[in-house]
Structure 1
Amino acid sequence: MDLAPEDSLRLNVMLANRPQAIRIDESRMILHALSDKGEMEIPLNPTCRDEQYIKQIREMLSMHVLGSPSGYPQHIWSRMGHLNSENLEDLLLLGEPEAVVAIAYSEELTDDLARKAWWALEDAENARQMLRNADVVNGHMGKVLAAWLIEFLPFETEAEKIMDTVQLVLQPGLVEDTVKADLWKRARRKNAFYVGFLAALPDELPEPAAPAAAWERLQDGLRAMAQDNPLAARLHRLMSPAGQAWLATLDKVLEKPGTQDVVNRVLDVTAGYFASARPEGPADATIEELREEAENWVTDPGNALVRQILDMEPGLSHGLVAMRVLSGSGYGVVRPVFGKSDAIGTLMRRKLQPVLDPYREYINTLRNLA
């Protein structure tokens, strides 16, 4: 069945004027087009069932844009981010939500394309994906997307999405300090927020902390060797007020995590924070295996970086062991529990206690360096 004559005419006139993006409101049967002069609406007049008519509209758009009435499905795989720049402008004219998603995931995304894609489909996952793009973060759309995601946060129920959102909106330049303070307050009720802060602002957490007891005595010596010794640089950072605030926040998360996603993510963030203590890359080991390996690592006479620090202060051996253990954080630490249980909440925390109690001891070792 053909399109209604008035719809066909209006659509062809609209396409001749080279719109920037198209979206279709299926519930109201209205097609919206974005141009450099603003927006226009085309009320649709179905000649058959609405679903079938929308399909015909999209086939017409696809024929005009891609030369095939079924041209879009070949781009479904583009959610993986492999679209090239030549495809992107065209996909905005298909009136297909999945095509907009493809643009959000594209490595070729620009700030201007993000603007058009956001007009075409406001969606939380699209916003998060676009905020992983440096051009968008540093452009006009970065603040727009961050503000929208913050407004949407009360409606997010999954810890994974909350952690992603907080980490992404805390990128430099996107939100004001007052907004950061408000997000930090929300973390007191839902500690998934803290995980986003740990990842995004490791040295600028809103809640201050006192330096470690050994800070005044050792900071000059550690700073002097920090340029050539990444372990000394990390110890210097850990003993500082910023490092102590980070450790305190990490311990707060692990004291009462709500879901397995929170535990897994905070372990990954911890591994990244301590990466300089494990230059060979991530570990996949239990807490017992990490402890044994760390003790051997610290006592290895061939470990020049460790020896340099211990020559200055032998008492830092426990701190170095703790750093090495925490640098091996990851799923391996909790596999003995999570590999057998999908529990959350109180039951999960009870099952995790034999793992997290010794793990948290290493955190407290670094909080009590004297």
Structure 2
Amino acid sequence: MELSSEDALRLNVLLTHELQAVRINENSLTLFALTGRGEARIALHPTGRKEQYLRLVREMLSGHALGSPGGYPLFIQRWTRMGQNSGDNIDKLLLLGEEEAVVSVAYSPKLTDELARRAWWCVQSGDNARRMLERAAVSQGEMGPVLAEYLVEHLPFETSPHVVIDTVRIVLQPGLLSSEALLRLWKRAKGDNTYYVGFLETVPDALPGQDEDAQVTALPGAMPLEPLAAAGNPYARQLARVLSPSGKRFLVACEDVLRRPADQDVARALFRAIGAYFGVSRQDPAQEHQLKAALTVAEQRLADPDADLAALLAIVPQYRAALYALLVLAEVGEFSVAPILVRTTAIGSLMRRKLEPVSDPLLEQLAVLRATV
């Protein structure tokens, strides 16, 4: 089989121009090319089976771009999806009309904002957008807000909690979304609390919301903590952080997800967020505990406080229960639920029942902090 004379002529003319990217619509049999002057298109006229004809077209494109008609080697697909394509000529991969070659560019550590623009013109997909936004050159460039807007718009259609958390985490990078868009994204969590987890992991101290909400009203009781916190007392700082309006929002969101995590990915991510947020007060920063040990450590630390903790207790003894809750939460993290989750594939209500020996006591400690005034 050969290219039709009309297609061969038009393709040869097209290849004399400086192309930026090429894509092929296999349904309409149309080739699109992005150039410095805009977009060009060629309607293809197969002389035989469509699949074979498109292979001939791609061989011609590959021969021009790479000097070989072999096209993009699909057998290295997994390699490129691991971000290992660090070649100096990744821009040439956008001239092959191969979607997997575009994915390779999106995953490349050498991706630039301009290459992201071209790759996005070739193929628009949530996975490509997420991977491209992981590159600072893109997230801080002109394409950053474009990709973030696409992800937020399509997020309601994502069915995997893991993908939802990953997407929220990525679009929360500074400068990608307006404050209004962030608030709208936050409010979606009322219908799907998986959204909260991305916020809790990424911006725990800058959660959107209105400070005048009844649940997160600023507490005058935190005022006695300010002198010690300003002097560098770590416990006073952490307690003041938790009692702040943003801290109260963190507690409310934690409670919501802890009561109803959708699956194991959500549960693990939530406990990572809890460990990161409260872990600044952990006795051994490198060691998380299972619940029973966490309770014991908290009791021991409160019974035999170090100098900073003793100083705080002397000034605000009424916060003893809150400090105990703080110390318990400081000792937990993903390790606290890992032994339960590795022994089951359960999700939903069954998984939640299995987590109750850990989640219920932690909910009690969160409630103590929320009630502290």
Q: TM-score range by the shorter chain?
A: 0.7 to 0.9
Residue 84 of structure 2 is matched in structure 1 by: 82
Q: 1:19–1:93: 8 Å Cα contact kept in structure 2?
A: yes
Instruction: Check if 1:271 corresponds to 2:275.
Output: yes
- In the superposition, the TM-score normalised over structure 2's length comes to 0.87
Matches within 5 A, 1:125-274: 125-207=127-209, 208=211, 209-212=216-219, 214-225=221-232, 229=234, 231-274=235-278
Distance 1:304 1:26 in 2: 71
Cα contact 1:212–1:367 (8 A) shared by 2: no
Answer whether contact 2:279 2:329 (CA < 8 A) is retained.
no
Poorly superposed stretches of 4+, deviation over 6 Å: none
C-alpha contact (below 8 Å) 1:111/1:136 kept by paired residues: yes
Query: CA offsets per residue over residues 158-186 of structure 1, 9 Å max, x none?
Result: 11122222232232222223322322222
* Equivalences for residues 107-126 of structure 1 within 5 A: 107-126=109-128
Q: Report the CA distance shift for 1:367/1:48 in structure 2 as closer, same or farther (over 3 A).
A: same
1:11 matched to 2:18: no
1:49 positional shift: 1.6
- Given that 1:318 and 1:365 are in contact with CA atoms closer than 8 Å, whether structure 2 keeps it comes out as yes
Does the aligned pair in 1 maintain the 2:269–2:334 contact within 8 Å?
Answer: no
Contact 1:294-1:321 at 8 Å conserved across structures: yes
Query: Distance in 1 between the 2:332 and 2:52 partners?
Result: 53
1:258 and 1:150 map into 2 onto residues whose CA distance is: 20
SS of corresponding position for 2:225: helix
| Cα separation, 2, equivalents of 1:32 and 1:109 | 22
Instruction: Spell out, residue by residue over 1:51-104, the C-alpha distance to the aligned partner (whole angstroms, 9 max, x if none).
Output: 222222222222222233335227531222232261321111121111111222
Q: How does 1:13-52 map to 2 (within 5 A)?
A: 13-52=13-52
Mapped pair 1:289 → 2:293: yes
How many Å apart are 1:338 and its aligned residue?
2.0
- What is the percentage of aligned positions where both structures have the same residue? 44
Contact kept? 1:282, 1:328, Cα under 8 Å: no
Q: Using the alignment, how far apart are the partners of 2:205 and 2:293 within structure 1?
A: 30
Deviations 1:5-32 (A, max 9, x none): 3222222222221210111111111111
Q: Quote how far apart the aligned CAs of 1:328 are.
A: 4.5
Gaps (5+ residues) in structure 2? none
- Contact kept in structure 2, 1:3 and 1:47, CA below 8 Å: yes
User: CA–CA distance in 2 between the matches of 1:290 and 1:319?
Assistant: 15
Alignment partner of 1:343 is 2:342: no
Question: How far did 1:282 drift?
Answer: 5.2
Q: How many residues were matched structurally?
A: 366
1:115: Cα distance to partner? 0.8
CA 1:112–1:281 in 2, change beyond 3 Å: closer, same or farther? farther
Aligned partner (choices 323, 345, 360) of residue 357 of structure 1: 360
TM-score, normalisation: structure 1: 0.88
Q: Give the AA of the match of 2:278.
A: F
Contact persistence 1:199–1:269 (CA under 8 A)? yes
User: Structure 1: which amino acid aligns with 2:246?
Assistant: A
Over aligned residues, Cα RMSD in angstroms?
2.7
Distance 1:110 1:120, change over 3 A: same
1:89-141 residue CA offsets vs partner (Å, 9 max, x unmatched):
11111211111112222222221111111101000111112222222222211
SS of structure 1 residue aligned to 2:252: helix
- Aligned-residue offset at 1:352: 1.9
Distance across 2 between alignment mates of 1:280 and 1:68: 58
Asked if the contact 1:271–1:282 (Cα under 8 Å) also holds between the matched residues in 2, the reply is no
Question: Aligned partners of 1:330 and 1:171: how far apart in 2?
Answer: 24
